[in-house]
Structure 1
Amino acid sequence: MASFQFLSLLIVVSVLSFCYGDSNDMNNVQLNDDVLGLIVFKSDLHDPSSSLASWNEDDSSACSWNRVQCNPATGRVTEINLDGLGLSGRIGRGLEKLQHLMVLSLSHNNFNGSITPSLTLSSTIQSLNLSHNGFSGQIPTSFLNMSSIRSLDLSHNSFSGQIPQSFFDSCNSLHYFSVSNNMFEGQIPSTISRCSSLNSIDLSNNRFSGYVDFAAVWSLTRLRQLDLSSNALSGSLPNGISSIHNLKEILLRKNQFSGPLPNDIGLCLHLNKLDLSDNQFNGVLPESLNRLKSLSYLSTSKNIFAGEFPQWIGTMTSLEHLDLSNNQFMGTIPDSIGELRSLAYLSVANNKLEGNIPASLVSCTELSVIKLRGNGFNGSIPEGLFGLGLEEIDFSHNHLTGPIPAGSSRLLESLIKLDLSENNLQGNIPAEMGLLSKLRYLNLSWNDLHSHMPPEFGLLQNLTVLDLRNSALIGSVPSDICDSGNLAVLQLDGNSLEGSIPEQIGNCSSLYMLSLCHNNLSGSIPKSMSRLSKLKILRLEFNELSGEIPMELGMLQNLLAVNISYNKLTGRLPTGSIFHNLDKSSLEGNYGLCSPLLTGPCMMNVPKPLVLDPNAYNNQIGSPRQRNESSMATGLSHHHRFLSVSAIVAIAASFVIILGVIAISLLNVSVRRRLKFVDNALESMCSSSSRSGSPATGKLILLDSQSGSPDWISNPESLLNKASEIGEGVFGTVYKVPLGSHGRIVAIKKLITSNIIQYPEDFDREVRILGKARHPNLIALKGYYWTPQIQLLVTEYASNGSLQSKLHERISSIPPLSWANRFKILLGTAKGLAHLHHSFRPPIIHYNIKPSNILLDENFNPKISDFGLARLLTKLDKHVMSNRFQSALGYVAPELACQSLRVNEKCDVYGFGVMILELVTGRRPVEYGEDNVLILNDHVRVLLEQGNVLECVDPCMNEYPEDEVLPVLKLAMVCTSQIPSSRPSMAEVVQILQVIKTPVPQRMEVF
């Protein structure tokens, strides 16, 4: 259509040319070339806001059109700026008519798809901006020859593939080049060193990998900005960087660069920003850095830098952001740090620093964030620090002593996060903390405060996390603790709190975690807790709580974990929610609770049944004294009479039961004789060796069908021959089959014949048990087909295949799984396993958890397949077991391999832990090299112990949140413990994953 319009417009040109006659020169036609080209370009666009309404094909010039600029002297279009108009469609070839175009900017629109490779823009173009769209595919080859271009911005799209070496063959005029936030891969072309005029290079947030020749980069003497962040690049920084005199920014964050820093880096006197974080740089910081008087941003976090903390840091007086965290720096922070008067952000967390916190930091009046976590600082907190306008204070995991300073009015108006946990702080919690109007996160846990909880905490309107665990708190839980209604996490574990849980706890409408365990709380559990609709975790163990658990708690549908063990609770458990799935460890220590998991007495507060005394009416006659004397005189005889009646009733009942048993036994003998006669008759008629009642031709049984099941074709093999095979496992082969006249797609598993249950009624019973295991993360069993020769299971079909295919069999054109989808798969699989383990008695054990048994629907929701199929086997023979262990190499729990058939839920937990590692790393559980064998579990454990565990994260993931990946890896280590009892239950795994994913201002560490 566009070609037809373009042809029509060319005809119009000819007509116009004829109308002008010979007196007009070719300039008039060229002017209309601009009009026609833009009209053709517009015809390929969708303009939702009619921003291009002024573009009219009847105009003789485009210079008056919206978003178009022309050269006043020639009247030719030189600039088109269509930024942020919400345009979509494609870039058509109409732009090729604009022979004097110098600037084309289409950023912040909705263009998508690939750009026509043959698109050839004007040789005069100097600036091309296609950023913030959805373009995909490779960079058009026509872009390679734009020798006049000075600025090329393709950032924030979905371009992929490699940038060819020839791309920079004609780049002498190029000043600005950005392809950030795309999906480019491979090495950075070395020919980029030919772009001698380059001022800025931004290749960040792609998938570039391989060695970077920085010696060639240093030859770009006009370079001012270099951004290679968030790739998988490697190499070291050699000396020679000082040749780039105008260099202002070096951003190398989140790569695999290594080695020491060049000694002459301090000679780049104009350097303003230096970000080397999240790499493998080592050695000491060059002292030449102290010459960088203009440096405002310095980050070396998450490397292997060592040696003494730089004592010359105070000379870098322009610093506003200083992050030296997660290295191996030792020694003390010098007092000269107080000279950094512009410093707003300071983090030296997780090093090996010691000594006092410098009091000179009080001079850093612009400071808003200070993180000293995970060092060996001692002494008291400088009181003046709490007089600054700080927004975040993290002094946790040190050896600080003394009291918590009271905050100034300036701090009360600014502080958002305060973490002083795991120190040795003493004294009262300052009442002023109740006046921190912006405070969202407060953690004073693991100190020795011996303080009451200030009642002013109820005034903290923005507080979402309050963690006061193991702080020697005394007194009671304040009744107004939830007056704000915003509290999401309340942890008061391990203190000496007394009294009852306040009824006002029900006002915590935003609470998702409530932990009051290991205190001395008494009284009953308030019914008001039933109003905590968002509550996911409830821990009340090891208290003195008594009475019955309010039945209303069963209405809390979001509960994932509950522990009420070791109290004095009695009565029934609430129905609904998670209470019917609680294991013994969550209930034990309450000798009055009613649960089949507990051995103690069941005590319920219900009226006792009335006992009718046959002499009661006679005893009503006479005075009370006479009645009393009569009762005393006849009490013994009444007692004996009662025992005699009881004995008579028991003997009579026993006699009746015995007669019943004899009668039923005789009846069974008679029935069996009749059935045997019928069996023999059918056997002789049908000449069949099968058991009576077995179908001869087979029928498809649909478990959801309320009416009779439709007959299947007489030969199911012919249906399977037409189907497509999609997988094969230990239990049989799986086919994709259209079922019925509507062509509904189902999956059919043709079971192995070895040791499958041989009688249809037994097979039907076991399949129906599996059919009841319905859960969003389990493959639903739809029906079955049975004959003595062939057994088939009909299940739902998962359109996205198996997790195995997405992790290890992915073709390059399909993008890898994002972290969001990987976490969704982990959480869904955990929920499915928890349902199998905790919703059935006895629990359904899978013990073959691996990616090939995790299927994915169209939204990447996981569905566990092959669960409970062992129920269909009369025995697990050596062949089946051998095949299972071999096919699940690396997933098998050690105790399962050693003890053969002694399996329990912990075997599934082990396999799930290995699957976590596989999802995070993208590697197989066992990999064979030329000279060694890599066991993924051991490999990750070693990296975790060395503090380098993020090195094992799948490099195919472009971005991932470290504060989620790290605790997930730690969870995997716990799940794959060699000791089964050390592994969590799947309900606990779900709880932990929910906590990891729950958005709170500062997520607590799960481990």
Structure 2
Amino acid sequence: MSAVVLSVLLLLLVPICLSLDPTTLNDDVLGLIVFKADLQDPEEKLLSWNEDDDTPCRWTGVKCDPKTNRVTELVLDGFGLSGKIGRGLLQLQSLRKVSLSNNNFTGTFHSGIARLGNLRTVDFSNCGLGGEIPDGFFKQCRTLMEVSFANNGFTGSIPESLELGACSTLASLNLSGNQLTGPIPKGLWSLNGLRDLDLSDNRLSGEIPDGMSKLFNIRSLRLKRNAFTGALPDDIGTCLLLKEIDLSGNSISGELPDSMQKLSMCGVLNLGGNSLIGDVPAWVGELGNLKTLDLSGNRFNSTIPDSIRKLKGLENLDLSGNSLTGKFPKWVFKLQALEKLNLSDNNLGGTLELPTSPTNLTIKVLHLSGNTFSGVIPLEIGNFRELRILNLSRNGFFGSIPASIGELKSLEGLDLGHNHLNGTIPSDFGGAISLKQLILEDNFLTGNIPSQIERCPALSSLILSKNKLSGPLLPNIANLTNLQTVDISENNFSGALPMSLSNLAHLVLFNISHNKFSGALPAGNFFNSIPISSLADNPSLCGSIVKVSCPAVLPKPIVLNPNTSSEVSSHENPSSLSSNLHHKKKIILSISAVIAIAAAALIALGVIAVTVLNIQVRSSAATNSAAALALSEGGYYSHSPATESNSGKLVMFSGDDPEFSTGTHAVLNKDCELGRGGFGAVYKTVLQDGRPVAIKKLTVSSLVKSQEDFEREVKKLGKLRHPNVITLEGYYWTPSLQLLIYEFVSGGSLNQHLHDRKSGRLLSWQERFNLILGIARSLTHLHELNIIHYNMKSSNVLIDGSGEAKVGDYGLAKLLPMLDRYVLSSKIQSALGYMAPEFGCRTVKITEKCDVYGFGVLVLEIVTGRRPVEYMEDDVVVLCDLVRGALEEGSVEECVDRRIGGDFPADEAVPVMKLGLICTSQVPSNRPDMAEVVNILELIRSPQDSQEDELP
């Protein structure tokens, strides 16, 4: 059984009670078996732990002293264990290291662990522990050197026992990522052996106490994201060995103590997000080992000291969010190691001066927004070949956008918004092939969006609002398949919107308000529920969303110039017939004559148009009638041996005579249409024996390679029989028309029952579970036959008269060998939210795991009664994210469809939703096989049986 299945079985297992005879076990075996008895091990990582062994030295996660055979190390990191950390560990008297990080324990741990006389390292980080840290633990820690309780749920204050000096050997203490409160006990500074102290991400408060001079061995001090107040201790500079100081995200005030200039070994100084005031001291430039200097988000109001230019190894300089003044320090580009420069949100001014020739520039992030810089953006910006983020927004830059930005092939984010830029958007932008975010809003840009923008395939955000851009929106913008946010509002764009925009599967915002667009809105995907505010002030738009009917397409009216002279032939079009009455003579027409002639011409055009339409209708009817005739006669037909399109082939796999009691008019008749999908429309008709069938007319005939390939795949599908799969009973073939004949399922689609309050019916929990299990069994059968469905969604699942799921639309991709994954994404995976992420990457192989992903979304849809993606007025709700968030918050039961009420078993509903989330893993290999899914569902349905099977 795979690891994925076993991880789900954690929901079903119960603790195993062991009866041990201590006379037969040595202390280490006894201790570890007792320790294991308090645990749940869903992944069976501790399977090798056998109470019958004389020694545990070969057990997984256990190391022993080769001389004494006593356990010295117990390392079970990331084993997926749950339960509690019990007393069994107290038996391991030779234990030097115990590491249980990244598991799912509950409660706290026994303080007596610290009494183990040889213990040096304790790592209980990220274990799910809670409550108060046992005070007695630090009273007995005379040998401990490293202790980590990071990222748990510990509450209360830092244990007072740390002040007693019992932990004199402690070199590393990590209590970060908990919910500890209160001040730092001053006695903590008495741990003069301490090298690393991390109290970050708690709720500690008060002032940082003086007395840090006792920490003469301290190398790393991390107190970030707490609620410390007051000034920094004056003696912080006496900790001469400090290499890292991170006190960011507090409310520390006052000026930087001068003693800090003694910290010459410091490589990281992060004091961002506090309330420090005064000047940025010049002595900062004397800290010669600095690689990171972050003083952002404070109240410094000086100029940037020139002494910083001495920091040749500086990699990250962040002085943003202060009140710094002066000009841009052009010397920063001489810092050869500098990768990130953030001076945003200050009062810096002047022009931006850049190196005039290419140098060894390593800057990857240049963030200067929210200042008062002016002048033009220099062409030399193209020299920054490593640049990934460029943000010059909210300044006073003017002039045109330099085309050299297109030379930045590593650029991922460009924000030039809220300036005074003019001119056009350079076509050279297409050279920035890594661009993901382009923001040019609130400028004075003109012209159109350059077509070369399609060369930026990673682009996900395009913000061009509040400019003077014009022209049509070119269809090639739909080639940017990763687009999520588009805002081109408040411009002068005009013309019709490309219908291909509906293929943008990831779109969450498309704001075209306050432009001059006209014509019909795209249909499908995001555009079915686009907010009306995103379309405002485009009075010529039409469609159901804006509640304006689109006019029928009519021939353009003829406009005659009364002053035009011409010679016409009696063989020219009908609009010239009135001119022929004058036998090629030059004439001058009165206004009344023009009106009369125009009316006659329009009538003539109308007669011609009606005639052409009648011919087309008759031709189409002839084709459909021919197909219907073949179906009614049950064999071949041929109207003209010279025209291949008029001959067809009908095959029924059962060998029956498929005569239709309703006559030929019922086949492909609009009145008998059941629905439409990515491959075509489906119609209902009845055989002469009274048996109804469904006829699918494929609308992608141009993608069918050949009759031979088509028939080979159809016959393979025709042999498929399963109670949860709709049976293919036959087919009809011509080069221009292909029909598939299926059994008729009377109960309607799952989508209808879940989301259509009028025609659907409320499904009970029992019915929903049965449907999930039936769908899983159908996919298992398909995958056993190497058939990938590709198109799992609720509209492709029908419900028969007995309430069983019947899956349709399977295997159709194999009928169309010319389809690639991008055609599949738009043609087949038309329902946003079901499509596995690997469809968006050409280098990832499409396997059965894409069906598993769609099944997982379908499971969540069935349990919650919600659509995979729902568009609110100002938000987009993705079902997978909604359920996953509820699970993390412990409120996942609230996601169950409210229409069921409280009438559902939580011990089934919750595991089923967890299974759905596992199936929608972003990594295909992390998803289970469908056979494993069926096994899991059967275990969830019968948990008692599964527990009995797992007991030894």
Maintained 8 Å contact 2:62/2:74:
no
Q: 2:358 aligns with which of 385, 394, 408?
A: 408
Q: 2:129 aligns with which of 133, 136, 159?
A: 159
1:834 aligns to 2:793 (yes or no): no
Q: Is the 8 A contact 2:151 2:178 kept in 1?
A: no
Q: 1:132 to 1:446 in 2, by over 3 A?
A: closer
Counterpart of 2:104 in structure 1 is 134
Q: Higher relative contact order by CA 8 Å / sep ≥ 6: 1 or 2?
A: 2
| Cα gap change, 1:417 to 1:859, in 2 (>3 Å) | farther
Structure 2 CA distance for aligned equivalents of residues 835 and 66 of structure 1: 52
Partner of 2:320: 349
Taking the TM superposition and a 5 Å limit, the aligned residue runs for 1:64-143 are 75-78=67-70, 101-117=71-87, 119-143=89-113
Q: 1:607 to 1:467 in 2, by over 3 A?
A: farther
Question: SS at 1:193's partner residue?
Answer: helix
Query: In the alignment, is residue 371 of structure 1 matched against residue 338 of structure 2?
Result: no
Give the 3-state SS of the residue equivalent to 2:91 in structure 1: coil
Give per-residue Cα distances to partners, 1:844-903, cap 9 Å, x unaligned.
Answer: xxxxxxx99xx997387698999xxxxxxxxxxxxxxxxxxxxxxxxxxxxxxxxxxxxx
Q: Secondary structure at the match of 1:257?
A: strand
Instruction: Return the alpha-carbon distance in structure 1 between the equivalents of residues 596 and 63 of structure 2.
Output: 118
Letter in 2 for 1:510: A
Match runs of 1:242-391 below 5 Å: 242-357=213-328, 364-377=335-348
Equivalent residue of 1:202, what SS?
strand
Cα distance in 1 between the residues matched to 2:350 and 2:466: 25
Contact 2:291 2:313 in 1 (8 A): yes
Structure 2 residue 521 is the aligned partner of structure 1 residue 482: no
Give the residue type in structure 2 aligned to 1:260.
Answer: A
Between the aligned partners of 1:241 and 1:325, the Cα distance in structure 2 is 25
Cα distance in 1 for residues equivalent to 2:541 and 2:292: 57
Partner in structure 2 of residue 788 of structure 1: none
Please list the CA deviations of residues 247-272 of structure 1 after superposition, one character each: whole Å capped at 9, or x if unmatched. Answer: 33322111111112222222233333
Code of the residue aligned with 1:324 in structure 2: it is L
Alpha-carbon offset, residue 161 of structure 1: 1.2
8 Å contact from structure 1 (residues 162, 184) kept in 2: yes
Residue 266 of structure 1: SS of its match in structure 2?
Answer: helix
Per the TM alignment, residue 420 of structure 1 is displaced from its structure 2 partner at its CA by 3.3
Matched, 1:624 2:583: yes
Which residue is 1:690 aligned to? none
Task: Tell me, yes or no, if structure 1 residue 572 matches structure 2 residue 515.
Answer: no
What amino acid sits opposite 2:211 in the alignment? G
Structure 1 residue identity aligned to 2:266:
L
Alpha-carbon distance change, 605 to 434 in structure 1, aligned in 2, over 3 angstroms? farther
Structure-2 separation of matches of 1:707 and 1:517: 43
The 5 A counterparts of 1:862-901 are none
Change (3 A) 1:859 1:834: farther
Contact 1:120 1:143 in 2 (8 A): yes
Shift of 1:415: 2.9
- AA partner of residue 298 (structure 1): L
Q: Check 1:231–1:610 CA distance in 2 against 1; reply closer, same or farther (3 A cut).
A: same
The code of the aligned residue for 1:143 comes to I
Structure 2: segments with no counterpart, 5+ residues = 1-14, 560-573, 602-752, 772-792, 796-863, 878-884, 901-952
Indicate if the aligned counterparts of 1:199 and 1:225 stay in contact, CA closer than 8 A. Answer: no
User: How many residue pairs were aligned?
Assistant: 620
Matched to 2:69, the amino acid is V
| 2:517 pairs with 1:546 | no
CA deviation map 1:150-191 (0-9, x unaligned): 332222321111123233332333333221121111122212
What letter corresponds to residue 416 of structure 1 in structure 2?
K
Give the CA deviation at 1:526: 1.0
Q: Alpha-carbon deviations, 1:446-479, whole Å to 9, x = none?
A: 4555444444444433322222334444443333
Residues 365, 603 of structure 1: CA spacing in aligned structure 2 closer, same or farther, 3 A cutoff? same
Tell me how far apart the structure 1 counterparts of residues 438 and 500 of structure 2 sit (CA, whole Å). Answer: 21
Question: Cα 1:106–1:432, aligned 2, differ >3 Å: closer, same or farther?
Answer: same
Paired residues for 1:40-59 under 5 Å: none
Residues 754-811 of structure 1, C-alpha deviations (whole Å, 9 max, x = no match): xxxxxxxxxxxxxxxxxxxx999xxxxxxxxxxxxxxxxxxxxxxxxxxxxxxxxxxx
Match of 1:20 in 2: none
Alignment counterpart, residue 466 of structure 1, candidates 392, 404, 414:
414
Deviation at 1:354, TM superposition (A): 1.9
Cα distance, 1:267–1:605 mapped onto 2, change above 3 Å? same
Residue in 1 that maps onto 2:185: 214
Query: Any conservation in 2 of the 1:335–1:359 contact (CA below 8 Å)?
Result: no
* Change in 2 beyond 3 A, CA 1:333/1:636: closer
Determine if contact 2:30/2:51 at 8 Å carries over to the other structure. Answer: no
Residues 671-695 of structure 1 show CA distances to partners (whole Å, capped at 9, x for unaligned) of xxxxxxxxxxxxxxxxxxxxxxxxx
By how many angstroms is 1:596 displaced? 8.8
> Match for residue 858 of structure 1?
892
Distance 1:863 1:502, change over 3 A: farther
The AA in structure 2 aligned to 1:624 is H
| Residues 1:627 and 1:581: Cα distance change in structure 2 (over 3 Å) | farther
Q: Does 1:510 align with 2:420?
A: no
Q: Is the 8 A contact 2:328 2:352 kept in 1?
A: no
Contact 1:34–1:76 (Cα < 8 Å) also in 2: no
The one-letter amino acid paired with 2:209 is P
Determine the structure 2 residue equivalent to 1:673.
none
Equivalent residue number for residue 621 of structure 2: none
Alignment CA distance shift 1:416-1:292 (3 Å): closer
Contact 1:565 1:589 in 2 (8 A): yes
Closer, same or farther: CA 617–640 of 1 in aligned 2, 3 Å: closer
SS in 2 for 1:158: coil
2:366 corresponds to 1:418: yes
CA contact (8 A) 1:738 1:744 kept: no
AA of the residue aligned to 1:419? H
Letter in 2 for 1:128: V
2:146 aligns with one of 165, 168, 176:
176
| Equivalences for residues 651-800 of structure 1 within 5 A | none
Distance 1:632 1:336, change over 3 A: closer
In 2 relative to 1, CA 295–541 (structure 1 residues): closer, same or farther, beyond 3 Å? closer
The residue type equivalent to 1:528 in the other structure is N
Q: Is the 8 A contact 1:829 1:864 kept in 2?
A: no
Tell whether the 8 Å contact from 1:466 to 1:489 is kept in structure 2 after alignment: yes
The alpha-carbon distance between structure 1 residues 122 and 299, as it changes in their structure 2 partners (threshold 3 A), is same
Contact kept, 8 Å, 2:333 with 2:355, in 1: the verdict is no
Tell me the distance in 1 between the aligned counterparts of 2:52 and 2:506: 61
Are residues 136 and 48 of structure 1, via their aligned partners in 2, closer, same or farther at CA, if it must alter by over 3 Å?
A: closer
Between the aligned partners of 2:115 and 2:599, the Cα distance in structure 1 is: 114
1:466 partner SS = strand
Seq. identity, %:
32
Query: Contact 1:403/1:428 (CA < 8 Å) preserved in 2?
Result: no
Residue pair 1:504, 1:528 contacting (<8 A) in 2 also: no
**Structure 2 CA distance, aligned partners of 1:145 and 1:505?**
67
Aligned counterparts of 1:52 and 1:582: Cα–Cα separation in 2:
54
Cross-structure match for 1:234: 205
Partners of 1:320 and 1:6 in 2: CA distance:
58
Query: For 1:429-508, what aligned pairs fall within 5 Å after superposition?
Result: 429-434=377-382, 436-483=384-431, 485-508=433-456
Normalised TM-score (structure 2)? 0.55
Q: Secondary structure at the match of 2:180?
A: strand
Q: CA deviation at 1:704?
A: 5.8
Counterpart amino acid of residue 274 in structure 1 = I
1:460 & 1:243 partners in 2: Cα distance? 51
